[in-house]
Amino acid sequence: MEVNAETYFPSPPLATSIVRHRRLPNADLALELPSRDFHGRRFLLPPLPLPSPPARSLSVGFSNDHPDFLLSDFNTLRALGHGNGGTVYEVRHRQSAAVFALKMVRADVSLRHQVQREVDILRRTVGCCHVVRFHSLVRTPSADVALLLENMDRGSTDALLRRRGRRPFPELALAAVARQALLSLPELHSRQIVHRDIKPANLLVNSAGEVKIADFGVSKVLLRSLDPCDSYVGTCAYMSPERLDSVTYGADYDSYAADVWSLGLAVLELHQGHFPLLPEGVPPDWAALMVAICLGEAKGVLQYIGQMH
Protein backbone atom coordinates (compact mmCIF):
# COMPACT_ATOMS: atom_id res chain seq x y z
CA MET A 1 0.00 0.00 0.00
CA GLU A 2 1.51 3.33 -1.06
CA VAL A 3 1.39 6.26 1.34
CA ASN A 4 0.97 9.72 -0.12
CA ALA A 5 3.22 12.13 1.78
CA GLU A 6 1.13 15.20 1.03
CA THR A 7 -2.03 13.44 2.23
CA TYR A 8 -0.68 12.01 5.47
CA PHE A 9 2.20 14.39 6.18
CA PRO A 10 1.37 17.60 4.26
CA SER A 11 3.74 20.55 4.27
CA PRO A 12 2.88 23.13 6.93
CA PRO A 13 1.27 26.41 5.86
CA LEU A 14 3.49 29.48 5.52
CA ALA A 15 2.59 30.68 8.99
CA THR A 16 2.07 28.20 11.80
CA SER A 17 1.85 28.84 15.51
CA ILE A 18 2.50 25.86 17.76
CA VAL A 19 1.06 26.59 21.17
CA ARG A 20 2.35 24.32 23.90
CA HIS A 21 0.06 22.51 26.30
CA ARG A 22 0.23 23.85 29.84
CA ARG A 23 3.19 22.62 31.83
CA LEU A 24 3.19 22.26 35.56
CA PRO A 25 5.90 23.75 37.80
CA ASN A 26 8.26 21.58 39.77
CA ALA A 27 6.81 19.80 42.77
CA ASP A 28 7.77 16.67 44.58
CA LEU A 29 6.59 13.41 43.59
CA ALA A 30 9.81 8.12 41.04
CA LEU A 31 10.24 2.98 40.65
CA GLU A 32 13.18 1.16 39.28
CA LEU A 33 13.80 -0.33 35.87
CA PRO A 34 16.71 -2.32 34.40
CA SER A 35 19.09 -0.46 32.13
CA ARG A 36 18.23 -0.34 28.44
CA ASP A 37 20.67 -1.53 25.77
CA PHE A 38 19.78 -0.16 22.35
CA HIS A 39 20.28 -2.63 19.52
CA GLY A 40 17.48 -1.41 17.28
CA ARG A 41 17.49 -0.54 13.63
CA ARG A 42 16.50 2.64 11.87
CA PHE A 43 13.02 2.36 10.40
CA LEU A 44 11.48 4.76 7.92
CA LEU A 45 7.99 5.15 6.59
CA PRO A 46 7.07 3.14 3.50
CA PRO A 47 8.42 4.74 0.28
CA LEU A 48 6.77 8.09 -0.31
CA PRO A 49 6.53 10.41 -3.32
CA LEU A 50 8.67 13.12 -1.74
CA PRO A 51 9.25 16.77 -2.66
CA SER A 52 12.72 18.02 -3.53
CA PRO A 53 15.16 17.97 -0.60
CA PRO A 54 16.63 21.17 0.86
CA ALA A 55 19.17 22.99 -1.29
CA ARG A 56 22.21 21.05 -0.09
CA SER A 57 23.75 19.77 3.10
CA LEU A 58 25.91 22.02 5.20
CA SER A 59 29.51 21.86 4.02
CA VAL A 60 31.09 23.75 6.90
CA GLY A 61 31.68 21.99 10.19
CA PHE A 62 29.16 22.59 12.96
CA SER A 63 30.51 21.93 16.43
CA ASN A 64 28.58 20.92 19.50
CA ASP A 65 31.28 22.47 21.67
CA HIS A 66 31.99 25.91 20.20
CA PRO A 67 29.43 28.50 19.08
CA ASP A 68 31.39 29.36 15.93
CA PHE A 69 28.40 30.80 14.12
CA LEU A 70 26.80 34.21 14.41
CA LEU A 71 23.14 35.03 14.19
CA SER A 72 24.00 37.14 11.14
CA ASP A 73 25.16 33.95 9.35
CA PHE A 74 21.49 33.02 8.87
CA ASN A 75 18.46 34.40 7.07
CA THR A 76 15.15 33.99 8.87
CA LEU A 77 12.50 32.32 6.69
CA ARG A 78 9.53 32.12 9.07
CA ALA A 79 8.45 31.50 12.64
CA LEU A 80 7.66 27.85 13.36
CA GLY A 81 6.32 28.10 16.89
CA HIS A 82 6.24 30.00 20.15
CA GLY A 83 6.16 29.08 23.79
CA ASN A 84 8.08 28.08 26.92
CA GLY A 85 10.14 31.27 26.93
CA GLY A 86 11.22 31.32 23.30
CA THR A 87 10.50 31.10 19.60
CA VAL A 88 11.60 28.57 16.97
CA TYR A 89 12.40 29.90 13.49
CA GLU A 90 13.15 28.26 10.18
CA VAL A 91 16.45 29.75 8.99
CA ARG A 92 18.78 29.37 6.02
CA HIS A 93 22.55 29.37 6.39
CA ARG A 94 23.89 32.08 4.05
CA GLN A 95 27.04 30.21 3.00
CA SER A 96 25.63 26.74 2.36
CA ALA A 97 21.90 27.48 1.77
CA ALA A 98 21.09 24.63 4.17
CA VAL A 99 17.86 25.04 6.16
CA PHE A 100 17.71 24.61 9.94
CA ALA A 101 15.49 25.30 12.92
CA LEU A 102 16.78 28.00 15.27
CA LYS A 103 15.43 27.99 18.81
CA MET A 104 15.76 31.43 20.40
CA VAL A 105 15.32 31.60 24.17
CA ARG A 106 15.07 34.99 25.82
CA ALA A 107 17.74 36.07 28.29
CA ASP A 108 15.71 35.27 31.38
CA VAL A 109 17.69 34.24 34.46
CA SER A 110 15.00 31.70 35.37
CA LEU A 111 15.36 29.99 31.97
CA ARG A 112 19.14 29.93 31.60
CA HIS A 113 19.64 26.86 33.80
CA GLN A 114 16.90 25.01 31.91
CA VAL A 115 18.45 25.92 28.54
CA GLN A 116 21.92 24.82 29.67
CA ARG A 117 20.47 21.50 30.85
CA GLU A 118 18.71 21.06 27.50
CA VAL A 119 21.96 21.71 25.61
CA ASP A 120 23.86 19.24 27.81
CA ILE A 121 21.21 16.58 27.16
CA LEU A 122 21.17 17.26 23.41
CA ARG A 123 24.93 16.76 23.32
CA ARG A 124 24.44 13.34 24.92
CA THR A 125 22.04 12.34 22.12
CA VAL A 126 24.70 12.46 19.39
CA GLY A 127 24.25 9.32 17.29
CA CYS A 128 20.56 8.89 18.13
CA CYS A 129 18.69 8.27 14.86
CA HIS A 130 15.28 9.22 16.25
CA VAL A 131 16.12 12.41 18.15
CA VAL A 132 16.16 15.85 16.52
CA ARG A 133 19.82 16.66 15.95
CA PHE A 134 21.53 19.51 17.80
CA HIS A 135 24.15 21.23 15.61
CA SER A 136 25.55 24.15 17.58
CA LEU A 137 24.98 27.12 19.79
CA VAL A 138 24.81 30.37 17.82
CA ARG A 139 26.24 33.65 19.05
CA THR A 140 23.71 36.45 19.38
CA PRO A 141 24.27 40.21 19.85
CA SER A 142 22.16 40.05 23.01
CA ALA A 143 22.24 37.70 25.97
CA ASP A 144 19.55 35.54 24.33
CA VAL A 145 20.46 31.89 23.77
CA ALA A 146 20.18 30.39 20.28
CA LEU A 147 20.22 26.64 19.53
CA LEU A 148 20.70 25.47 15.96
CA LEU A 149 18.69 22.29 15.37
CA GLU A 150 17.75 19.91 12.59
CA ASN A 151 14.79 21.23 10.60
CA MET A 152 11.83 18.83 10.60
CA ASP A 153 9.96 20.37 7.69
CA ARG A 154 6.62 18.56 8.11
CA GLY A 155 6.16 19.86 11.63
CA SER A 156 4.80 18.02 14.64
CA THR A 157 2.33 15.14 14.60
CA ASP A 158 0.01 17.40 16.60
CA ALA A 159 0.11 20.02 13.84
CA LEU A 160 -0.38 17.29 11.21
CA LEU A 161 -3.44 16.03 13.08
CA ARG A 162 -4.90 19.54 13.19
CA ARG A 163 -4.19 20.10 9.48
CA ARG A 164 -6.11 16.88 8.80
CA GLY A 165 -9.11 18.35 10.62
CA ARG A 166 -8.34 15.97 13.52
CA ARG A 167 -9.19 12.99 11.34
CA PRO A 168 -7.32 9.96 12.75
CA PHE A 169 -4.05 8.95 11.14
CA PRO A 170 -4.39 6.05 8.66
CA GLU A 171 -3.16 2.78 10.15
CA LEU A 172 -0.06 2.53 7.95
CA ALA A 173 1.09 6.04 8.81
CA LEU A 174 0.22 5.53 12.48
CA ALA A 175 2.27 2.32 12.63
CA ALA A 176 5.27 4.06 11.06
CA VAL A 177 5.07 6.97 13.50
CA ALA A 178 4.65 4.65 16.50
CA ARG A 179 7.53 2.37 15.46
CA GLN A 180 10.01 5.20 15.02
CA ALA A 181 8.90 6.99 18.18
CA LEU A 182 9.28 3.75 20.15
CA LEU A 183 12.82 3.38 18.83
CA SER A 184 13.68 6.78 20.30
CA LEU A 185 13.05 5.55 23.85
CA PRO A 186 15.83 2.92 24.10
CA GLU A 187 18.17 5.42 22.43
CA LEU A 188 17.46 7.90 25.22
CA HIS A 189 17.02 5.49 28.13
CA SER A 190 20.29 3.66 27.38
CA ARG A 191 21.95 7.06 27.95
CA GLN A 192 20.02 7.50 31.25
CA ILE A 193 17.95 10.30 29.68
CA VAL A 194 14.26 10.56 30.53
CA HIS A 195 12.23 12.96 28.38
CA ARG A 196 9.27 13.63 30.74
CA ASP A 197 7.21 15.56 28.17
CA ILE A 198 6.41 13.16 25.30
CA LYS A 199 3.27 14.21 23.41
CA PRO A 200 2.20 14.71 19.76
CA ALA A 201 3.58 18.26 19.76
CA ASN A 202 7.08 16.88 20.49
CA LEU A 203 7.06 14.16 17.81
CA LEU A 204 8.33 15.82 14.64
CA VAL A 205 8.22 14.58 11.04
CA ASN A 206 10.34 15.47 8.00
CA SER A 207 9.78 15.03 4.27
CA ALA A 208 11.96 11.89 4.27
CA GLY A 209 9.29 10.22 6.41
CA GLU A 210 11.44 10.23 9.56
CA VAL A 211 9.87 10.75 12.98
CA LYS A 212 12.05 12.22 15.73
CA ILE A 213 11.52 13.31 19.29
CA ALA A 214 12.18 16.95 20.22
CA ASP A 215 12.14 19.47 23.06
CA PHE A 216 14.28 18.38 25.99
CA GLY A 217 13.52 21.45 28.10
CA VAL A 218 12.22 19.43 31.07
CA SER A 219 14.25 16.26 30.47
CA LYS A 220 16.66 14.82 33.01
CA VAL A 221 19.81 12.71 33.07
CA LEU A 222 19.68 10.07 35.81
CA LEU A 223 22.97 9.34 37.54
CA ARG A 224 22.34 5.59 37.27
CA SER A 225 19.98 3.61 35.09
CA LEU A 226 18.00 2.42 38.13
CA ASP A 227 17.58 5.83 39.74
CA PRO A 228 13.98 6.81 40.51
CA CYS A 229 12.61 10.20 39.56
CA ASP A 230 10.86 12.48 42.03
CA SER A 231 10.08 15.61 40.00
CA TYR A 232 6.73 16.76 38.75
CA VAL A 233 7.30 18.50 35.42
CA GLY A 234 5.88 18.10 31.95
CA THR A 235 2.43 18.33 30.40
CA CYS A 236 -0.18 17.08 32.84
CA ALA A 237 -2.47 15.49 30.20
CA TYR A 238 0.25 12.96 29.24
CA MET A 239 1.45 12.11 32.75
CA SER A 240 1.16 8.53 34.00
CA PRO A 241 -1.09 7.73 37.01
CA GLU A 242 1.83 7.33 39.42
CA ARG A 243 3.04 10.84 38.59
CA LEU A 244 -0.33 12.34 39.49
CA ASP A 245 -1.42 10.16 42.42
CA SER A 246 1.35 10.05 45.01
CA VAL A 247 -1.06 8.82 47.69
CA THR A 248 -1.75 5.55 45.86
CA TYR A 249 1.62 5.02 44.15
CA GLY A 250 4.06 6.69 46.53
CA ALA A 251 6.30 9.71 46.10
CA ASP A 252 8.68 8.11 43.58
CA TYR A 253 7.88 6.86 40.10
CA ASP A 254 9.57 4.87 37.33
CA SER A 255 10.62 7.66 35.00
CA TYR A 256 11.44 5.31 32.11
CA ALA A 257 8.02 3.68 32.27
CA ALA A 258 6.40 7.11 32.52
CA ASP A 259 7.92 7.98 29.12
CA VAL A 260 6.36 4.81 27.68
CA TRP A 261 2.93 5.77 29.08
CA SER A 262 3.18 9.26 27.57
CA LEU A 263 4.15 7.88 24.17
CA GLY A 264 1.28 5.39 24.30
CA LEU A 265 -1.20 8.21 24.94
CA ALA A 266 0.32 10.25 22.10
CA VAL A 267 -0.08 7.36 19.64
CA LEU A 268 -3.67 6.76 20.79
CA GLU A 269 -4.44 10.43 20.23
CA LEU A 270 -3.18 10.20 16.64
CA HIS A 271 -5.33 7.07 16.20
CA GLN A 272 -8.52 8.55 17.64
CA GLY A 273 -8.12 12.19 16.56
CA HIS A 274 -8.61 13.55 20.08
CA PHE A 275 -7.20 13.08 23.58
CA PRO A 276 -8.02 9.40 24.20
CA LEU A 277 -8.90 9.44 27.91
CA LEU A 278 -11.68 12.02 27.59
CA PRO A 279 -14.77 12.07 25.36
CA GLU A 280 -14.30 14.14 22.23
CA GLY A 281 -15.01 17.80 22.91
CA VAL A 282 -14.56 17.63 26.69
CA PRO A 283 -12.05 20.29 27.82
CA PRO A 284 -9.07 18.73 29.64
CA ASP A 285 -9.32 20.65 32.93
CA TRP A 286 -7.30 19.48 35.93
CA ALA A 287 -10.09 17.62 37.72
CA ALA A 288 -11.24 15.80 34.56
CA LEU A 289 -7.65 14.78 33.76
CA MET A 290 -6.99 13.46 37.27
CA VAL A 291 -10.09 11.24 37.16
CA ALA A 292 -9.52 10.11 33.56
CA ILE A 293 -5.82 9.27 33.98
CA CYS A 294 -6.00 7.65 37.41
CA LEU A 295 -9.39 5.93 37.15
CA GLY A 296 -10.50 5.84 33.52
CA GLU A 297 -9.51 4.03 30.34
CA ALA A 298 -9.34 4.83 26.64
CA LYS A 299 -12.66 3.87 25.07
CA GLY A 300 -12.58 1.54 22.11
CA VAL A 301 -8.87 0.75 22.36
CA LEU A 302 -9.26 -2.94 23.20
CA GLN A 303 -11.70 -3.49 20.34
CA TYR A 304 -9.29 -1.77 17.93
CA ILE A 305 -6.27 -3.74 19.13
CA GLY A 306 -8.23 -6.96 18.67
CA GLN A 307 -8.60 -6.18 14.97
CA MET A 308 -4.87 -5.62 14.41
CA HIS A 309 -2.52 -8.31 13.20
* Residues noted as catalytic: 197
Secondary structure of 20-66 in HEC code, one letter for each residue: CCCEECCCECCCCCCCCCCCCCCCCCCCCCCCCCCCCCCCCCCCCCC
Secondary structure of the chain in HEC code, one letter for each residue: CCCCHHHHCCCCCCCCCCCCCCEECCCECCCCCCCCCCCCCCCCCCCCCCCCCCCCCCCCCCCCCCCCEEHHHEEEEEEEEEECCEEEEEEEECCCCCEEEEEEECCCHHHHHHHHHHHHHHHHCCCCCCECCEEEEEECCCCCEEEEEECCCCEEHHHHHHHCCCCCCCHHHHHHHHHHHHHHHHHHHCCCEECCCCCHHHEEECCCCCEEECCCCCCEECCCCCCCECECCEEHHHCCHHHHCHHHHCCCECHHHHHHHHHHHHHHHHHHCCCCCCCCCCCCCHHHHHHHHHHCCCCCHHHHHHHCC
User: 220 a known binding residue?
Assistant: no
The binding site for ATP consists of 103
Which residues are known binding-site members?
Answer: 103
